[in-house]
A and B are shown apart, each in its own frame.
Chain A
Amino acid sequence: MSFHWESLVLGLIAFAILYWLLSKYAFDPLFSIMEKRRELVQQQLTEASNTREQAIGYVEEQKAALQQARQQAYDIIEQSKQTSGKQAAQIVDLAKNEATRLKDDAVRDIQNEKNKAVEQLRSEVGIASVKIASKLLEKEVKEDNVQEELVDQYLKEVGGKS
């Protein structure tokens, strides 16, 4: 074994030159490429997480839209149920009114007919009574002109009243 400081210095110089060469021509490009890759991976990760967040947002939106549509459908059904119920009630009411009206009409008609009949009966009874009375009176009126005048007068009165 021998020790020479010249060899030591030579070794150091060689190492320094190697360090400089490697640093300039090998390590710097390599490190920059590795850094670029790290950035690329980072960027892709960020993108992926962004996309995922967006997807979650879309799903939430879809869910909300679906919920809204369901709510609307429910409302429509509910509304139509209500309107149909109302319509049924209206129809029933209408029918009831109609029936009442028809009944009232009928009752009024009956009343009218009755009144007419009563009127007619009364006039017929009047005529008949006059006829009966004239028949009864004929005998006596023939004998007396004064009485005839009286009867006429009464008849006039009756006729005026009826």
Chain B
Amino acid sequence: MHESPIIKLGGLNIDLAIVIMLVVTCTIVFVLARLGTRRLSVENPGKMQNFMEWVVEFVLGLISSTMDLKKGKPFLKLGMTLIMFIFVGNMLGLPFSLVTEYSQVDKAQIFGHPLVTVVDALDKAHASNPGGEHIEVGVAWWKSPTADASVAMGLALMVFVLSNGLGIIKNPRNYFKHYLQPYPFFLPINLIEQFSKLLTQGMRLFGNIFAGEVLISVLIKLSALGVVGTIGSVLGLVVWQGFSIFVGSIQAFVFTILTMVYLSQALETHDEH
């Protein structure tokens, strides 16, 4: 498995791959959105504007399927940013990857900062096998930002904080009451449920995308097995990349709709009963 290019900067572990990929993802999403809203027209929308409006309608559909549209309208921007960010992020890891290999500790550095993980891995390898054969540690610079547990969990944490915070501020009575339902001794289960929501939402996204990238790198390594391996690798990559596009879209959709579901659960008022 490839290591992450982490450097120490003022006591913080900065993952350079994450920084790069976050910037790339945000840039692509923003450029896409700007292209879609460049020449806005009421009566004669262009193709890109139509696409952006389709995204708006799609997210509106997600919101209205989980809660009252009047209540959910403020989350439209959140949903659109989420679905575009996650979708683009999921797609970025598919077409190619960028790996650098390091075999010597003193070369594993960038801008004068040592790559902590590479140094550790090399040290460990040398310690377990002193004076052994040539060891190389690969560092992945290009991958899906969502294939990183930290980023995926960060997004899930944001949804968690947002839904619980809104529940406490806007809907305190029903929010706290729902922990004791249907019976007060369900309290621990309800608490666990809240945290399992956080975990599953983040881990589902991370797991799907990460597993997809792992399988892609495994398929690439298959080509080392000669002609048969290369053919199998190419065929497998074609199939798996196509499937990964599907998985990436589904995960973006699932993450967004789960966000809306959690928000609607927190804002549920039971007024109609």
Q: Report which A residues bind B (CB closer than 8 A).
A: 1-12, 14-15, 17-19, 21-23, 25-27, 29-31, 33-34, 36-37, 40
Contact = CB atoms under 8 A, between A and B. Distances in A.
19 contacts: A1-B210, A2-B4, A8-B151, A11-B22, A11-B150, A11-B154, A12-B157, A15-B154, A15-B155, A15-B158, A18-B30, A18-B85, A22-B77, A22-B84, A25-B30, A27-B37, A30-B53, A31-B76, A40-B43
B19 A10 contact: yes
Nearest to B210: A1
Contacts of B81: 15, 18-19, 22-23
Interface stretch (B7-15, B172-180, B183-191): B7-15
A27 B80 contact: yes
A40 B42 contact: yes
B119 interface: no
B137 to A, nearest CB: 14
B30 A21 contact: yes
B interface: dominant SS:
helix
B78 A19 contact: yes
Interface in B1-43: 4, 6, 12-15, 18-19, 22-23, 25-26, 29-30, 33-34, 36-37, 40-43
A9 to B, nearest CB: 7
B91 interface: no
B215 interface: no
Interface of B: 4, 6, 12-15, 18-19, 22-23, 25-26, 29-30, 33-34, 36-37, 40-43, 45, 49, 52-53, 56, 76-78, 80-81, 84-85, 117, 145, 148-151, 153-155, 157-158, 210
Nearest to A37: B42
A11 B18 contact: yes
**Which 5 A-B pairs rank lowest in CB-CB distance, beginning with the nearest?**
A7-B150, A11-B151, A26-B33, A8-B154, A11-B154
A17 B23 CA distance: 10
B51 to A, nearest CB: 11
A87 B43 CA distance: 73
Contacts of A11: 18, 22, 145, 148, 150-151, 154-155
A8 B15 CA distance: 10
Nearest to A2: B4
Contacts of B56: 30-31, 34
Given A18-B30, A19-B81, A3 B53 contact: no
Nearest to B117: A2
B150 A19 contact: no
Contacts of A9: 154
Given A18-B30, A22-B30, 16 more contacts: A7-B148, A7-B150, A7-B151, A7-B154, A9-B154, A11-B22, A11-B145, A11-B151, A12-B155, A14-B22, A14-B23, A25-B30, A25-B33, A27-B76, A31-B76, A33-B45
